[in-house]
A and B are shown apart, each in its own frame.
Chain A
Amino acid sequence: MDNVFVYYVPLPEGIDEAVLPCFDGYTIYIDSRQSSSGMERAYRHALEHIERNDFEKFDIAEIETEAKRRELS
């Protein structure tokens, strides 16, 4: 797997995590104002996006609906 850099920052309401590619891997920003279990869920969600090559896909609705389905299953 590529490098993964994780930062804990306050994100706007309703947003637990953001993940984006950087020049030598991926950067994950996790909302620092949530509970530790929320942070763990957010981190796992971000890693799954990376592992499933979601950045190669096109439709955000499809990507997030599938990610949510996996989380709930």
Chain B
Amino acid sequence: MSEEKLRKVFAENLKRQLELHGKQPVDLVKDLDIPFSTVSNWINATKFPRMGKIELLAQYFGIKKSDLTEEAVENSEQPAYYTDPETAKIAQEIFDDSDLHALFRAARGSKPENLAMAAELLSRLKGTNPDG
């Protein structure tokens, strides 16, 4: 793979992981103490990170280093929003529930237990709010 291609692949993978985890580039600056200019260079595919930074990012997202450095294989099936099928199932159940019928802005990688917890919380809040 050419150097330019490596940079582009990394940039796309990094953007995908940020989206999956509901993060913004600025979160990398704050959480990992990486200069903004460095993150910007990665996102814009103008620079490729050193191996130490790839390891740091992989740990941060809880993924393999190759998830950042290797070209992703596109899934041709119908795209599912949530990456965890159990989360997707719970989100659909909450939406189908006539008492709640709720939609969320949640990270694609949200855990099913967090969505279930949110549904429980919404049920309780709905019962206490004057607007119902």
- Bound: A40/B34 CA distance, A: 25
A-side contacts of B122, CB under 8 Å: 18, 20, 29
- Bound: A42/B104 CA distance, A: 9
Q: Which of B91, B109, B129 contacts A60 (CB 8 A)?
A: B91
A-side contacts of B105, CB under 8 Å: 15-18, 41-42, 45-46, 67
Distance (whole angstroms) from the CB of A35 to the closest CB of chain B = 9
Name B residues whose Cβ lies closer than 8 Å to a Cβ of A. 19, 22, 78-82, 88, 91-92, 95, 100-111, 114-115, 117-118, 121-122, 125-126, 129, 131-132
Contact assessment for B82 and A5 in the assembled complex, using a CB-CB cutoff below 8 Å: no
Contact assessment for A55 and B78 in the assembled complex, using a CB-CB cutoff below 8 Å: no
- Bound: A33/B85 CA distance, A: 27
What's the A-B contact tally at a CB cutoff of 8 Å? 105
A-side contacts of B131, CB under 8 Å: 3, 5, 22-25, 27
Contact assessment for B121 and A12 in the assembled complex, using a CB-CB cutoff below 8 Å: yes
Distance (whole angstroms) from the CB of A70 to the closest CB of chain B = 12
- SS of A interface (majority): mixed
Known A-B contacts A25-B131, A29-B122, A61-B81; the reply to A19 vs B106 at CB < 8 A is no
Distance (whole angstroms) from the CB of B8 to the closest CB of chain A = 18
- Bound: A64/B91 CA distance, A: 10
Distance (whole angstroms) from the CB of A3 to the closest CB of chain B = 7
- Bound: A35/B126 CA distance, A: 25
B-side contacts of A12, CB under 8 Å: 114-115, 117-118, 121
